[in-house]
Structure 1
Amino acid sequence: MDGSVAIVGAGIGGLSLALSLHARGVPVTVHEQATELREVGAAVALSANGLRPLAELGLLDELDAVATEPSELIHRGWRTHDRITGFAVGVDGSYRARFGAPYLGIHRAEFQRVLAGACPDGMIRLGSRVESVVDLGDRVELRLAGDEIAHAAVAVGADGVHSRLRQSVAPGSGPVYTGTSGFRGLVPVADVPSLPDPTAIQFWMGPDAHLLHYAIDPDAGRINFLAVLEGPDEWSGGAGPQAVPDGTLAAAFGGWAPAVREMVTAVPQSDRWPLYTLPPLNRWSDGRVVLIGDAAHTMLPHHGQGANQSLEDAAVLADLLVAPEARTGGHAAAFARYERLRRARTRKVQRSSLVTSDLLHLPDGDEAAARDARLAGLDPWLAWIHGVDARESTRALPVG
């Protein structure tokens, strides 16, 4: 493909795409409406499928140095500290050996710092709000706040769940509230003395709620948690988080295991976040505009794959934009193949995340017991997500 690429959004997907394109000699500008880079949320879990493309960009050692590799993946019930399942991750090196990259828990600010720090000066434009994108046939015109105009060969919407650019591709589409919501927190390990296996990534499952947590930082000194509750039935008052009465979270987990109660009360209660999914789009591109990450396939966080699927998208799209078919067939050929390669994969992960939400919130009884028994098959289940090489069919493409 000839010409420059404009990326809207300096989140994980946008920055990783920018770096992948820059490494291939494509001129890139990232437009970020915020005046400083700051990630929403406390931390992110990076699995091997997302980290492999970053390793190929030479970033793995730097990420490894500021993150924690979980010792195990553990599921527990809600009443006690008893294990239901346990699978080795970093404790014996088996995960890294099997999948060719580690599993890391990292603070989002550190992750974004590493990505942004690898971008050359001038690539990221802060305070650059894209109001609309117009396809002029031979290029796109980005209309920015303040009446500024910018041009590029193509525009990439990496602007998240409430994407503006999505309306250029699929007018009227948007995320759907799932009827579940979450609270986030960062807790010093020392403030959760009852917690078994503090370096593990752990799911605590119970009626109408679950808690996921994992350690971050090089010394594994803090724990990031996401506590998910059923409800409210409807979300009103805006798309973002809302303040709720103090004690809401603590009350929801009042009868749970001691470590869970300690964790959710160790720090001030966060705002309550709505959890969204995005009904599958009929297309991910239109003309010279294409979507990646949450803008294309918002999914629930229960497989920890939102960021990782964005990283996969970015790596595949970068390969295709520099392949000979993009030079001969133009951007349309690259976009069409990108969507063919990514649609089934992301839909499968998205559907599984939706199903998992219900399974994590079962009350005690036969259904929960059957779920617990099925969790014994989790290891091969992990392989279909973490073991996939998204670039398998695009890495070897010649550069046009």
Structure 2
Amino acid sequence: MHGALQSRPVTVVGGGVAGLTAALALRLRGADVTVLERAPAIAEVGAGLQLSPNAMRVLDALGLGPALDVVSLPSRAVRLRDASGADVVRLDLARHRPGDRFRLIHRARLIEVLEQAARQAGVRIELGRDIASPPEVPLLIGADGLHSRIRTALNGREVPFFTGQTAWRAVIPDTDGTPEAQVFMGSGRHLVSYPLAGGLRNIVAVLETRDWQDEGWSHPDDPANLRAAFAGFGGPVPGWLARVDAVHVWGLFRHDVAARWQDGRMAILGDAAHPTLPFMAQGACMAIEDAWILAACLDATPDQGAALSRYQNLRKPRTTRIVAAANDNARNYHLTGPKRLAAHAALRIGGKVAPGAILSRFDWIYDFDPVAEAA
């Protein structure tokens, strides 16, 4: 049975990628959706996102493909390089995954597309609504991020683990629009960069350090600290960092995937359910998957408790596996000494002998079709 969401009231807490995607997916199935966003306006600090085919299948199914293509770039490859700038291996997405949609986009542009589509579909978005505790509504969706109050209501207070890694995020003007993501791997640090539409370039740089940093993306820092941490890197990195005039810094923390995602009335998704380290480029993608499958489960049966239980059962194993893979990459990017030399040599050989085999290790991520999963 489908159509169980018709005219049902749903309240979504959070107006980010997770909340707006969920609101749109729910509204297009007939739900009466209200989004509560604590900020006075829906806006994002400068940051880029990589959207892989698993997420793009959802965004295309929501009718957003044409709008997103205007404000994003296709990603043709992932290029792994050592700290000097020398190539280690290039993973050719266009060649080995033809027809799949990998896109590079500024987070703010994705938010704008989602917000416009949600409002046009009839979603009510109430700004300046900072809730102190979960409101008593029939169905409450917590898309309220890392410090989710809905997650706390479901699971109690939890203490994340500081990884000993600090990350910087910046966006710079750049006319080199080569559509690929580049990863520069050094001892105890790495830097990821890719172009964005509009003549911009996204930079994320991660350093192992004992210095404590607060969690969250909104802490400004002196660009000189970023340049000092990556002073030994070569290739295009020095030129990129010289153009950084504003940067944000945050500490990387490991969180457990939430033990409890729902209680029959409340449910969580995105970072509220499964915060992840940024080493698989799947944080936003998992949230987008969650949103579609949550809406599909709720629409399939009028039994809300059964629907939310099915949603958790479908999503928890996959998100747990992706979070674990991101944790592993945190180590792989920062190898030192003989281990780093051996790993890079193996990648170089693999790239020459069987480049498709390296990329096929991620088939379980990219082949996943959320649209079919909960059909």
Match of 1:222 among 195, 200, 203: 200
Equivalent position of 2:113 in the other structure: 114
Equivalent position of 1:275 in the other structure: 252
AA in 1 matched with 2:97? Y
Q: In structure 1, the residue corresponding to 2:207 is in which secondary structure?
A: strand
Match of 2:42 among 33, 37, 42: 37
Cα pair 1:189 1:198 within 8 Å, conserved: no
Match of 1:26 among 21, 31, 52: 31
Equivalent position of 2:104 in the other structure: 105
Cα pair 1:359 1:371 within 8 Å, conserved: no
Q: In structure 1, the residue corresponding to 2:40 is in which secondary structure?
A: coil
Equivalent position of 2:273 in the other structure: 296
List alignment gaps of at least 5 residues for structure 2.
351-356
CA RMSD of aligned residues (A): 2.1
* C-alpha distance in structure 2 between counterparts of 1:177 and 1:169, whole Å: 23
Q: Say if 1:368 and 1:341 are closer, same or farther in 2 by CA, change over 3 A.
A: farther
**More displaced 10-residue stretch of structure 1: 313-322 or 331-340:** 331-340
Equivalent position of 1:137 in the other structure: none
**Deviant stretches of 4+, over 3 Å:** 232-236, 238-246, 374-377
AA in 2 matched with 1:183? W
Equivalent position of 1:83 in the other structure: 87
* C-alpha distance in structure 1 between counterparts of 2:345 and 2:370, whole Å: 30
Equivalent position of 2:358 in the other structure: 378
Aligned residue pairs, count: 361
Report whether the alignment pairs 1:285 with 2:262: yes
AA in 2 matched with 1:86? R
Shift of the alpha carbon at 1:366? 3.3
Equivalent position of 1:146 in the other structure: none
Where does 1:1-400 land on structure 2 (aligned, <5 Å)? 1=4, 3-79=8-84, 81-90=85-94, 95-97=97-99, 99=100, 102-120=101-119, 123-133=124-134, 141=136, 152-190=137-175, 198-217=178-197, 221-235=199-213, 241-245=218-222, 247-324=224-301, 327=302, 330-370=303-343, 372-374=345-347, 376=350, 377-395=357-375
* C-alpha distance in structure 2 between counterparts of 1:117 and 1:389, whole Å: 25
Deviations 1:72-124 (A, max 9, x none): 21100001x3211112234x5x5351x4xx11111111111100011135511
* C-alpha distance in structure 1 between counterparts of 2:294 and 2:134, whole Å: 20
Cα pair 1:15 1:116 within 8 Å, conserved: yes
AA in 2 matched with 1:392? A
Shift of the alpha carbon at 1:240? 5.7
Cα pair 1:241 1:274 within 8 Å, conserved: no
Q: In structure 2, the residue corresponding to 1:39 is in which secondary structure?
A: coil
Cα pair 2:219 2:248 within 8 Å, conserved: yes
Cα pair 2:154 2:262 within 8 Å, conserved: yes
Deviations 1:356-397 (A, max 9, x none): 0111011242344225525844311221111111233312xx
List alignment gaps of at least 5 residues for structure 1.
135-140, 142-151, 396-400
Cα pair 2:222 2:247 within 8 Å, conserved: no
Cα pair 1:95 1:103 within 8 Å, conserved: no
* C-alpha distance in structure 2 between counterparts of 1:385 and 1:372, whole Å: 25
* C-alpha distance in structure 2 between counterparts of 1:114 and 1:298, whole Å: 23
Q: In structure 2, the residue corresponding to 1:215 is in which secondary structure?
A: strand
* C-alpha distance in structure 1 between counterparts of 2:334 and 2:278, whole Å: 14
Q: Say if 1:366 and 1:109 are closer, same or farther in 2 by CA, change over 3 A.
A: closer
* C-alpha distance in structure 2 between counterparts of 1:58 and 1:372, whole Å: 44
Q: In structure 2, the residue corresponding to 1:167 is in which secondary structure?
A: helix
Q: Structure 2 length normalisation: TM-score?
A: 0.90
Q: Percent identity?
A: 32
Shift of the alpha carbon at 1:44? 1.1
* C-alpha distance in structure 2 between counterparts of 1:340 and 1:73, whole Å: 32
Shift of the alpha carbon at 1:173? 2.1
